[in-house]
Chains A and B, each alone.
Chain A
Amino acid sequence: MLLIPCPWCGPRNEIEFHYGGQAEVSYPEDPDSVSDVDWAHFLFYRDNPKGVLAERWSHQAGCRRWFTLRRNTVTNEIHVDDDASQAGAVTR
């Protein structure tokens, strides 16, 4: 049961959250001009590193806000940004 730091509500148990996978995958500016291959990458391909991953979580059972955090996928250690204002910033 990870203890996930919601930038708003503070640390809460993992079960209150919804995992959203890799962060910073943005919707193509103009999908129509994107090749089939690139579109497939947007839809289906996500980083899967063994190590630190910047990922999206939503505090589903709490404030319902999405946020980004960095977590080590081997140790589950969460790297909370020193800059608190950054933590609240949302990216896809």
Chain B
Amino acid sequence: MSNEFRLAGGGRIDRGRPVRFRFDGRELQGYEGDTLASALLANGVHQVSTSIKFGRPRGITAAGPEEPNALVQVERPFPEPMLTATTVELRDGLEATGLPGQGRLATEPDPARYDAMHAHCEVLVVGAGPAGLAAALTAARSGARVILADADTEFGGSLLGADEQLDRAPAADWVARAVAELGSCEDVRMLSRTSVFGHYEDNYFVAVEHRGDAAHTRQRIWRIRARQVVLATGAHERPPVFAGNDRPGTMLAGSARTYLHRYGVLPGRRAVVFTTHDSAYAAAIDLHDAGVDIAAVVDVRDVAPAYWASLCVERGITIRAGATVVGTSGTDRITSVHLANVQSGGMMSVRQVVGCDLLLVSGGWNPAVHLHSQGRGALRYAEDVGALVPGGGGRGVRSAGAATGAFTTAECLRSGAEAGRDATRAAGYDAEIGPLPTAQNLPAPAGRTAWLLPSPADSAGATQFVDLARDVTVADIRKAIGAGMESVEHIKRYTTIGTAHDQGKTSGTNSTGIIAELLGRDFAAIGTTTFRAPYAPVAFAALAGRDRGDLYDPVRVTAMHDWHVEHSAPFENVGQWKRPWYYPLPGENMDTAVLRECHAVRSGVGMQDVSTLGKIDVQGPDAADFLDLVYTNKMSTLKLGRIRYGLMCTADGMVFDDGTVMRTGEQRYLISTTSGNAAGVLDWLEDWLQTEWTHLRVHLTSVTEHWATIALAGPRSREVLSRASDLDLDNESFPFMSWQDGIVAGRRARVCRISFSGELAFEINVPRWYGREVWEALYDVGEPFDITPYGTETMHVLRAEKGFPIVGQDTDGTVTPHDLGMSWVVSKKKADFLGKRSFSRADTTRADRKQLVGLLPHDDILVVPEGAQLVGTEALPAPPVPMLGHVTSSYRSAVLGKGFSLALLKGGRDRIGDTVYSPVGGRLVALEVTEPVFYDKEGARRDG
């Protein structure tokens, strides 16, 4: 019984290409060009699902994205929740089921690709009905760049679903000519299947293009920046609200026309047409002419429109003017409608039941003002339309066609062309309106707005559905108002009206109208809820696009990265950088590897890739003055060839970053920053330079990535380096905290004597492209010394043994240099520097501030977890327990043979020698408070 409702000819489906699909387990057949909805209707299926709250049978009511009812879950080719049958393109192998409320997500990974594309144009036209096509043609002929986007699979808009004539030929012919002409323009981009869903500042529009499951990219987000925009988005037909209006078989009149003309489908055999508006008559006529028995046209208005009445009379179609539908019957499908005459006072008389399998309805049209309103365009209630229309106010955005309440094709063509011309001119191009096709001379459709239709059997409105998607009825609105609500926003939230997948495309205007009527106020006084993006639902993955997996965020690597990989290092993420964490040998875990690496540095030699440290070249006559302002200590006194440690604070006195400063010239320095904060420091410095201290002549250049940097650390580092370098490395010629240029492993290098481990150490900088080569050379010459590559974990242990804090680990934005015990790095002589003034605020001068100290557990084998809290008592009182501070760094030390920690502790320096406690794994452990330096307090080892 396949396709018994399909006409033998007509429509835009490809009868040569049958498509098999399954719905709710049934094997069915349609054609290429069908939507799931049109194919179901062709197979006589009206009921698609049951409703969310009451479980009532629900069918197909519309033919586009405004569909409130026909929700399906696609199962194949891949599960996708909650689509409307009216927008799912029929494809071979499609499987779907009706969806009674909640969608289901796939458990298997989505194999599809998604991406984005930026595009620019002088004129963006949204919607390719007669208005949009006319606008696009007008703009394109001027030579301006045009983007024409339409959500539908084909251009033509409503013209494809009607049988209107343009230039005395089927309108589709003109559409084809228009599309061909646009297609031949070099600077016109035509995007079908592309739903424009968001309108943002400065004419930034976002759209999603559905490229199909077979395409390389399943969906593409278009990010369009347009000079000028024409919104020709058409209108959605408005269903009247009456008792039993949710029965499957109840369909918008215009949609029934679309099924007939576009898909060659008869949505039923015997139809009642119920309308408050002229436009439904065209459906009655068309369907009659296609063989549907029109049982009656029921028009709530006292007088039927003369033009249409005569066409009905010609065909013997009965018109029941001044009547209304007061109820429907049927279980899965409508079987009859109940009519009554309405007197002007709303009194009912003469009831009648008319059998049918289709009820076509129209309550007028709602212009699709969504995108206009999203862009802050004003809305105005148009009495004659019975809905909101654009009221101006968009910047560079114009609406045209049915989106403005113009409902004849002639008007739509003209307003589209005018908007296209005005937009093009505003974009700086010469544009004239060319010849437009001649539309049929149809009377402008009119209607009467009737929000609440009388219904004696259901006067409370319990079956008068306003929002089918959310099962909200007139009774629900009454109840909300009865609870004291007057705002449309409250009623929306109380009833959930307009909050479903369709965002109230067919229910929004009705709900405002009904609220207005129940409250006895004007429509305009009630207004609308806010139109928000997206205009139609968009998949998460489409928005995520290409930024997935490894491309989620740039992976930054150093020149030696592959070597680290080859030597089995796991990596630590430091900002976007990958840094080797440790280098386990076979059989080692992190703890044993780190102990080994630490031991190597303390007793032999280790090497670390420290290329990620930020490096900024600072040049200019005022460079020294500038550095004096941004570092807490004095840099202007630094001698050429020497290096100084420096600390930066924000103006509120909190530690912000640290690093070294090398004087590389009379007016030139090279400063280093922490790896994660390199960009932040450069921006910070530029900010002060450009906007505050504009008199300072200083240039900053990031050179981080020009250099690969290798730290050689340990008592034997000098021996290793001497075998690879021509530099004189003894303490006299190359003292601690100095730098020299020389040759290392055959390459010109800048070598610094700085140490983050406390051991004799060198940092070797070579242009990045020699990084791996020099690294390997040093590794080779170090072999006799058992040179040991080490990672960030070992580096942390070693520096912690020396009490060197890590900004961001031992500080948290609430710590001053004084708190760190680093007053020695805070100048008392300088007139000012960033942070200075804040050190004299009440809170920063408190004696009981948290200060950096060391902690040694009484229990030798214990390593207190980082983050552990400190308390002053041996036993825990009831909460809240006063806390004294927390452990910021904590490791097992190879040289100490036990665990040790750094901590921020209230009044910490005065507590040195005291015992504090920390809850660890359900017990309180005792810790001795110590100086933060655990190893080589005298600093003897740095000279080797």
Contact = CB atoms under 8 A, between A and B. Distances in A.
Do chains A and B make direct contact within the complex (CB under 8 angstroms)? Answer: yes
Interface of A: 1-3, 13, 18, 20, 26-28, 30-32, 34, 36, 39, 42-43, 56, 58, 60, 64-66, 75-77, 90-92
Nearest to A11: B202
A76 B690 contact: no
Interface stretch (B436-444, B634-642, B837-845): B837-845
A2 B201 CA distance: 5
Given A3-B202, A27-B651, A90-B691, 19 more contacts: A1-B201, A18-B683, A20-B687, A28-B837, A30-B832, A31-B836, A31-B837, A43-B651, A43-B652, A43-B838, A56-B691, A58-B683, A58-B690, A60-B683, A65-B690, A75-B376, A76-B201, A91-B691, A92-B691
A47 B694 CA distance: 23
A2 B691 CA distance: 23
Interface SS of chain B: mixed
Interface in B491-506: none
Contact of A3 (B204, B651, B687, B836): B204
Contacts of B307: none
A5 to B, nearest CB: 10
Interface in B324-353: none
Interface string B677-694: 000000100110011101
Nearest to A56: B691
10 contacts: A2-B201, A3-B202, A31-B832, A43-B651, A43-B652, A43-B838, A56-B691, A58-B687, A90-B694, A91-B691
Interface string B819-845: 000000000000010001110011000
Given A3-B202, A65-B690, A92-B692, A36 B683 contact: no
A26 B652 contact: no
B690 A32 contact: no
B687 A66 contact: yes
B799 interface: no
Nearest to B832: A31
B225 interface: yes
Contacts of A64: 686
A1 B683 contact: no
Contacts of B832: 30-32
Given A31-B837, A32-B837, A39-B841, A66 B201 contact: no
Nearest to A64: B686
A85 to B, nearest CB: 15
B735 to A, nearest CB: 36
B563 interface: no
B690 A36 contact: no
A39 B838 contact: yes
Contacts of A18: 683
A64 B684 CA distance: 11
Contacts of A58: 683, 686-687, 690
A13 B201 CA distance: 11
B769 interface: no
Interface in B149-164: none
Contacts of A39: 837-838, 841
A75 B375 CA distance: 10
A77 to B, nearest CB: 8
Nearest to A39: B837
Interface residues of B, number: 23
A59 to B, nearest CB: 11
Contact of A66 (B200, B686, B838, B841): B686
B225 A36 contact: no
Given A36-B841, A39-B838, A66-B686, A1 B204 contact: yes
B842 A1 contact: no
Contact of B692 (A26, A30, A65): A26
Given A31-B836, A90-B690, A92-B692, A3 B225 contact: yes
Q: Which of A1, A65, A77 has the most CB of B within 10 A?
A: A1
Contacts of A56: 691
B629 to A, nearest CB: 10
Contacts of A75: 376
A7 B9 CA distance: 62
B202 A27 contact: no
Nearest to A20: B687
B229 to A, nearest CB: 14
Interface in B683-716: 683, 686-687, 690-692, 694
A13 B200 CA distance: 12
A27 B395 CA distance: 38
| Interface pairs A-B: 6 shortest CB-CB | A31-B837, A3-B202, A92-B691, A1-B204, A66-B690, A76-B201
B26 to A, nearest CB: 46
Interface in B652-692: 652, 683, 686-687, 690-692
Interface string B893-933: 00000000000000000000000000000000000000000
Contacts of A92: 691-692
B200 A1 contact: yes
A91 B690 CA distance: 8
A58 B376 CA distance: 27
B228 to A, nearest CB: 14
A36 B844 CA distance: 12
Contacts of A3: 201-202, 204, 225
A42 B652 CA distance: 10
A18 to B, nearest CB: 7
Contacts of B838: 39, 43
Contacts of A26: 692
Nearest to A76: B201
Nearest to B204: A1
Q: Which of A2, A28, A66 has the most CB of B within 10 A?
A: A66
Interface in B190-204: 200-202, 204
Contacts of A42: 651
Contacts of B841: 36, 39
A77 B376 CA distance: 11
Contacts of A20: 687, 691
A31 to B, nearest CB: 4
Contacts of B694: 90
Nearest to A60: B683
A13 B120 CA distance: 12
